[in-house]
Amino acid sequence: MKKSLKFILIGIIGIVIGFVGGRFIRVQPAPMDHSQMGMGDQMSSMTTSIKDLKGDEFDKKFLEEMIVHHQGAVDMARLVLKNSQREELKALASDIVSAQTKEISMMKEWLKTWFAPAGTKKK
């Protein structure tokens, strides 16, 4: 067999193997930062990140994800206060800022209290 025909056959075989193999092997995309996702994607990502965890590992990750989630709601609500003309939306936004800011503080305190490095936990 001539060298050039041999190289062509090897190339074709490589392409076929790559194509067929690619159909069976799925490469997972790198996880996106929450700022790169839509809200539905963020919630799905947050849920996925904790679904297989248990105990303290679950509790800590849940709190961390909820802080991010609540902060997103507070940021959006502040935009409503700044940009909306509707009093009903402004009232809702004000309630969201108030309630979720308190909850963020509470969750941050729990993180410090429950998961601080050894020797630094509050009593």
Helix extents (H) in 25-122: 39-50, 55-83, 87-115
Give residue for tokens 């909850």. Answer: 103
Q: For residue 30, what are its two tokens? A: 């790198």
Phi and psi torsions of 6, nearest 5°: -60, -45
**What single letter denotes the amino acid at residue 106?**
M
pLDDT for 49 equals 79
pLDDT for 29 equals 47
pLDDT for 27 equals 47
Low-confidence residues of the chain: pLDDT under 50? 24-25, 27-29
pLDDT for 115 equals 94
pLDDT for 55 equals 94
